[in-house]
Amino acid sequence: LFRKVGTALILYGAAIGPTWNIWRISIAPPDLSYGLGLAPLAEGGLWQIITICAIGAFASWALREVEICRKLGIGYHVPFAFSVAIFAYVTLVVIRPMLLGAWGHGFPYGIFSHLDWVSNVGYQYLHFHYNPAHMLAVSLFFTTTLALSLHGGLILSAANPGRDGTLEN
Protein backbone atom coordinates (compact mmCIF):
# COMPACT_ATOMS: atom_id res chain seq x y z
CA LEU A 1 0.00 0.00 0.00
CA PHE A 2 2.74 2.47 0.99
CA ARG A 3 4.69 1.71 -2.18
CA LYS A 4 1.70 2.17 -4.47
CA VAL A 5 0.51 5.40 -2.83
CA GLY A 6 4.05 6.83 -2.74
CA THR A 7 4.68 5.98 -6.38
CA ALA A 8 1.31 7.45 -7.42
CA LEU A 9 2.10 10.66 -5.53
CA ILE A 10 5.52 10.92 -7.17
CA LEU A 11 3.86 10.57 -10.59
CA TYR A 12 1.26 13.16 -9.59
CA GLY A 13 4.03 15.51 -8.44
CA ALA A 14 5.81 15.03 -11.76
CA ALA A 15 2.54 15.72 -13.61
CA ILE A 16 1.98 19.06 -11.85
CA GLY A 17 5.67 19.96 -12.13
CA PRO A 18 7.35 21.83 -14.96
CA THR A 19 8.92 18.83 -16.74
CA TRP A 20 8.73 15.11 -17.47
CA ASN A 21 12.50 14.91 -17.91
CA ILE A 22 13.48 12.07 -15.55
CA TRP A 23 16.68 13.91 -14.58
CA ARG A 24 14.82 17.13 -13.69
CA ILE A 25 11.70 15.86 -11.89
CA SER A 26 11.80 17.12 -8.32
CA ILE A 27 9.48 16.71 -5.35
CA ALA A 28 10.71 19.48 -3.07
CA PRO A 29 10.18 19.70 0.68
CA PRO A 30 8.05 22.55 2.05
CA ASP A 31 9.45 26.05 2.31
CA LEU A 32 11.18 26.88 5.58
CA SER A 33 8.34 29.29 6.42
CA TYR A 34 6.02 26.30 7.07
CA GLY A 35 8.28 25.10 9.86
CA LEU A 36 7.20 21.69 11.10
CA GLY A 37 3.58 22.22 10.06
CA LEU A 38 1.66 20.68 7.20
CA ALA A 39 2.07 22.32 3.81
CA PRO A 40 -0.34 22.45 0.85
CA LEU A 41 0.19 19.57 -1.59
CA ALA A 42 1.75 21.66 -4.35
CA GLU A 43 4.02 23.50 -1.91
CA GLY A 44 5.69 20.57 -0.16
CA GLY A 45 2.75 18.57 1.12
CA LEU A 46 3.45 15.91 -1.49
CA TRP A 47 6.98 15.59 -0.10
CA GLN A 48 5.59 15.12 3.41
CA ILE A 49 3.15 12.39 2.37
CA ILE A 50 5.73 10.66 0.13
CA THR A 51 8.17 10.67 3.05
CA ILE A 52 5.60 8.94 5.28
CA CYS A 53 4.91 6.42 2.50
CA ALA A 54 8.63 5.79 1.98
CA ILE A 55 9.27 5.19 5.68
CA GLY A 56 6.26 2.86 5.82
CA ALA A 57 7.40 0.96 2.73
CA PHE A 58 10.98 0.62 3.98
CA ALA A 59 9.85 -0.55 7.43
CA SER A 60 7.41 -3.03 5.87
CA TRP A 61 10.20 -4.43 3.72
CA ALA A 62 12.49 -4.78 6.75
CA LEU A 63 9.75 -6.65 8.61
CA ARG A 64 9.25 -8.87 5.56
CA GLU A 65 12.97 -9.67 5.66
CA VAL A 66 12.63 -10.57 9.36
CA GLU A 67 9.75 -12.90 8.51
CA ILE A 68 11.81 -14.58 5.77
CA CYS A 69 14.78 -14.98 8.12
CA ARG A 70 12.53 -16.50 10.76
CA LYS A 71 11.04 -18.98 8.26
CA LEU A 72 14.47 -19.97 6.97
CA GLY A 73 15.91 -20.21 10.47
CA ILE A 74 18.81 -17.90 9.69
CA GLY A 75 20.18 -14.87 11.51
CA TYR A 76 18.76 -11.39 11.22
CA HIS A 77 21.88 -9.87 9.64
CA VAL A 78 20.21 -8.67 6.43
CA PRO A 79 17.22 -6.93 8.08
CA PHE A 80 19.56 -5.39 10.64
CA ALA A 81 21.83 -4.02 7.90
CA PHE A 82 18.81 -2.71 5.96
CA SER A 83 17.55 -1.08 9.17
CA VAL A 84 20.80 0.90 9.35
CA ALA A 85 20.09 2.26 5.84
CA ILE A 86 16.51 3.07 6.87
CA PHE A 87 17.83 4.91 9.93
CA ALA A 88 20.20 6.94 7.73
CA TYR A 89 17.26 7.94 5.51
CA VAL A 90 15.04 8.80 8.49
CA THR A 91 17.87 10.85 9.97
CA LEU A 92 18.08 13.02 6.84
CA VAL A 93 14.35 13.48 6.18
CA VAL A 94 12.85 13.44 9.69
CA ILE A 95 15.35 13.80 12.55
CA ARG A 96 17.59 16.49 11.01
CA PRO A 97 14.67 18.68 9.83
CA MET A 98 12.99 18.35 13.25
CA LEU A 99 16.20 19.41 15.01
CA LEU A 100 16.58 22.37 12.63
CA GLY A 101 12.91 23.33 13.04
CA ALA A 102 11.53 22.97 9.50
CA TRP A 103 10.73 20.19 7.04
CA GLY A 104 12.40 22.32 4.38
CA HIS A 105 15.78 21.08 5.62
CA GLY A 106 15.05 17.61 4.23
CA PHE A 107 16.39 16.65 0.83
CA PRO A 108 14.22 16.84 -2.31
CA TYR A 109 13.21 13.70 -4.19
CA GLY A 110 14.74 13.87 -7.63
CA ILE A 111 18.06 13.10 -9.28
CA PHE A 112 19.57 16.52 -10.02
CA SER A 113 17.72 18.24 -7.18
CA HIS A 114 19.12 15.73 -4.70
CA LEU A 115 22.66 16.21 -6.03
CA ASP A 116 22.21 19.99 -5.76
CA TRP A 117 21.04 19.55 -2.16
CA VAL A 118 24.11 17.47 -1.26
CA SER A 119 26.38 20.07 -2.84
CA ASN A 120 24.64 22.98 -1.10
CA VAL A 121 24.77 21.27 2.31
CA GLY A 122 28.48 20.70 1.73
CA TYR A 123 29.02 24.41 1.07
CA GLN A 124 26.77 25.41 3.96
CA TYR A 125 28.93 23.44 6.38
CA LEU A 126 32.27 24.69 5.01
CA HIS A 127 33.09 21.99 2.46
CA PHE A 128 32.82 19.09 4.89
CA HIS A 129 33.02 16.75 1.88
CA TYR A 130 36.67 17.85 1.57
CA ASN A 131 37.35 17.26 5.27
CA PRO A 132 40.02 14.52 5.43
CA ALA A 133 38.22 12.81 8.32
CA HIS A 134 34.97 12.74 6.32
CA MET A 135 36.72 11.43 3.20
CA LEU A 136 38.47 8.74 5.23
CA ALA A 137 35.23 7.73 6.95
CA VAL A 138 33.33 7.44 3.66
CA SER A 139 36.19 5.50 2.04
CA LEU A 140 36.38 3.11 4.98
CA PHE A 141 32.60 2.73 5.00
CA PHE A 142 32.56 1.60 1.38
CA THR A 143 35.69 -0.54 1.87
CA THR A 144 34.11 -2.25 4.87
CA THR A 145 30.93 -2.86 2.90
CA LEU A 146 32.94 -4.42 0.07
CA ALA A 147 35.00 -6.56 2.47
CA LEU A 148 31.93 -7.80 4.32
CA SER A 149 30.12 -8.66 1.09
CA LEU A 150 33.19 -10.54 -0.17
CA HIS A 151 33.41 -12.38 3.15
CA GLY A 152 29.72 -13.31 3.03
CA GLY A 153 30.05 -14.53 -0.54
CA LEU A 154 33.09 -16.64 0.38
CA ILE A 155 31.30 -18.22 3.35
CA LEU A 156 28.22 -18.98 1.25
CA SER A 157 30.28 -20.45 -1.58
CA ALA A 158 32.33 -22.65 0.78
CA ALA A 159 29.40 -23.85 2.89
CA ASN A 160 27.89 -27.20 2.03
CA PRO A 161 24.50 -27.46 3.71
CA GLY A 162 22.79 -30.82 3.88
CA ARG A 163 19.16 -31.40 2.94
CA ASP A 164 18.03 -30.56 6.46
CA GLY A 165 19.77 -27.17 6.32
CA THR A 166 22.63 -28.03 8.68
CA LEU A 167 26.21 -27.74 7.54
CA GLU A 168 28.17 -30.93 7.00
CA ASN A 169 31.57 -31.16 8.66
Q: CB neighbours (10 Å) of residue 62?
A: 19
* Per-residue model confidence (pLDDT) at position 162: 65
Cα–Cα nearest to 14, from 116, 117, 108, 119: 108
- Give me the phi and psi of 161, to 5 degrees please: -70, 145
- Give percent of the chain above pLDDT 90: 69
pTM of the entire predicted model: 0.78
Q: CB neighbours (10 Å) of residue 158?
A: 8
> Who has greater pLDDT, 52 or 138?
52
For residue 61, pLDDT over 80 is answered with: yes
For residue 168, pLDDT over 70 is answered with: no
**Residue range 45-67: average pLDDT?**
97
* Per-residue model confidence (pLDDT) at position 87: 95
CATH number of 2-115: 3.40.50.300, 3.90.180.10, 1.10.10.10, 1.20.85.10? 1.20.85.10
- Cβ atoms of residues 34 and 103 within 8 Å: yes
Question: Please, which pLDDT band fits residue 31 given cuts at 50, 70 and 90?
Answer: very high
Instruction: Say how many CA atoms lie within 13 Å of 84 toward its Cβ.
Output: 7
Question: Please, which pLDDT band fits residue 165 given cuts at 50, 70 and 90?
Answer: low
> Who has greater pLDDT, 127 or 57?
57
E strand or H helix at 122: helix 111-124
CA 13 vs CA 27, 37, 85: distances in Å: 6, 20, 25
Question: Please, which pLDDT band fits residue 69 given cuts at 50, 70 and 90?
Answer: very high
Q: How far apart are CA 53 and CA 55, in angstroms?
A: 6
